[in-house]
């Protein structure tokens, strides 16, 4: 049975592409339109849910699945209309059709080539299967304060009785996936697990499981946080603030347009700039730098986040190390270091993948114990 770990964020979908390298794709879900096309002349691969416990795109009146085509991730950027992805807390997202489509898409794309390809009899070249069947162990994360919604997530992921197989097409390939087991843990615990276990799932022999850590995980739409000693939660240190990359980009957009009269940019333009080595937006055909505006916006948003976080962490700051993960971590780092002066503050390497790393490593560890 294959272990698949994914991190379905407000802004990015993170998973191992084909079971190999980690990727972070835009967390967009759009309905395919009659004019959906691709400028690179590669076919789009819409997801159509055919049957299963997720019940994606069910008609509210008849109760039947409408089986409309959804474009997910990069394909949603290339075609489609009406973005269906919801930005917000897990409570708003995990039972939405968009979140379900993102999860199944990520699992399908993460399946190793041994499951998705075959060597036809008498042939030497590997080719993609037309029908992929797989039973998987799924590892996913939730914000700590959304733990109460875990049963709702498991209900549509695993199904019950004879209704457990997710049947859907992704492009020209039909998938029949069953989530046999699921590991759903708090995201800050997953970040800690990424620092406590080797890739194989073996515990690190350096005392990592006895360290006291406070984890800040700013993503696209929310900043999740929590403290733990090893994998044990420190009571009263967890929470979620609905402020992160989108709020930084929205605030920076206003600053950019104020500093460049006549320039019109979207929040998506500014989000794209946040991913650049040297952030910029286009003005009259040329890139103009916007690092100053983003830095100013990030400082204001981070201060607002810390207003919620600091009172819960105050008793532990002198004893713990503060670890920053998440795709927005680098933008919040300077303000966190300044405001929590005296504490040891670390920006983790490959911060955007830390939740996935921890989910996968902890999943492998638990499998070795069976």
H helical segments located in 195-327: 245-259, 267-274, 291-313
CA angle 114, 117, 123 (to 5 degrees): 115
Q: How far apart are CA 244 and CA 346, in angstroms?
A: 18
CB 224 within 8 A of CB 93: no
The alpha carbon torsion through 140, 145, 146, 147 (nearest 10 deg) reads 70
Please name every residue paired with 233 in a beta bridge, in sequence order, or none if there are none.
Answer: 228
DSSP 80: -
Instruction: Please name each of the domains of the chain with its CATH number.
Output: 2-115+127-188 (3.30.420.40), 206-347 (3.30.420.40)
Q: Furthest-apart CA pair in the chain: how many Å? A: 68
Among the listed residues 341, 355, 267, the one whose alpha carbon sits nearest the alpha carbon of residue 24 = 355
> Tens-of-pLDDT digits for all 370 residues of the chain?
899 999 999 899 999 999 999 999 999 999 887 655 554 556 889 999 999 999 999 999 999 999 999 999 989 888 777 778 766 666 678 889 999 999 999 999 999 999 999 877 667 788 899 999 999 999 999 887 787 889 999 999 999 988 999 999 999 999 999 999 999 999 999 999 999 999 999 999 888 899 999 999 999 989 999 999 999 999 999 999 999 999 999 999 999 999 999 999 999 999 999 999 999 999 999 999 999 999 999 999 999 999 999 999 999 999 999 999 999 999 999 999 999 999 999 999 999 999 999 999 999 998 766 6
Q: How far apart are CA 287 and CA 313, in angstroms?
A: 41
The 3-state DSSP class for residue 145 equals helix
Please name every residue paired with 343 in a beta bridge, in sequence order, or none if there are none.
Answer: none
Decide: residue 42, CB within 10 A, 0-12 exposed, 13-18 middle, 19+ buried.
Answer: exposed
Q: How far apart are CA 60 and CA 40, in angstroms?
A: 37
């Amino acid at each position: 049975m294959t272990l698949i770990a994914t991190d379905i964020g407000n802004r990015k979908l993170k998973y191992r592409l084909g079971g190999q390298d980690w990727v972070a794709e835009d967390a967009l879900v759009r309905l395919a339109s009659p004019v959906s096309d691709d400028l690179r002349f590669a076919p789009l691969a819409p997801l159509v849910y055919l049957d299963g416990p997720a019940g994606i795109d069910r008609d509210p009146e008849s109760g039947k699945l409408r089986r409309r085509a959804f474009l997910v991730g990069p394909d949603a950027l290339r075609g489609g209309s009406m973005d269906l992805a919801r930005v917000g807390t897990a409570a708003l997202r995990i039972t939405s059709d968009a979140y379900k489509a993102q999860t199944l898409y990520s699992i399908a794309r993460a399946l190793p080539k041994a499951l998705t390809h075959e060597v036809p009899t008498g042939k030497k070249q590997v080719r993609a299967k037309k029908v992929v069947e797989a039973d998987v162990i799924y590892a996913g994360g939730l914000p700590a304060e959304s733990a109460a919604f875990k049963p709702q997530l498991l209900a549509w992921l695993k199904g019950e009785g004879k209704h457990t197989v997710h049947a859907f097409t992704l492009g020209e390939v039909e998938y029949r996936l069953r989530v046999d087991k699921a590991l759903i843990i708090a995201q800050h615990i997953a970040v800690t697990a990424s620092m406590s276990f080797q890739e194989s799932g073996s515990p690190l022999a350096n005392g990592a499981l006895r360290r006291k850590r406070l984890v800040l995980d700013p993503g696209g739409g929310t900043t999740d946080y929590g403290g733990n000693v090893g994998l044990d939660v420190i009571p009263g240190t967890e929470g979620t603030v609905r402020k992160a990359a989108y709020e930084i980009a929205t605030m920076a957009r206003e600053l950019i347009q104020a500093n460049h009269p006549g320039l019109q940019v979207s929040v998506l333009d500014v989000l794209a700039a946040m991913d650049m080595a040297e952030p910029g937006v286009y003005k009259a055909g040329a890139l103009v730098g916007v690092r100053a505006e983003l830095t100013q916006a990030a400082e204001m948003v981070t201060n607002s986040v810390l207003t919620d976080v600091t009172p819960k962490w105050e008793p532990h700051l002198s004893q713990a190390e503060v670890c920053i993960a998440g795709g927005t971590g680098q933008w919040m780092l300077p303000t966190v270091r300044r405001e929590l002066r005296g504490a040891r503050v670390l920006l983790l390497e490959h911060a955007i993948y830390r939740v996935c790393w921890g989910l996968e490593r902890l999943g492998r560890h638990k499998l070795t114990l069976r």
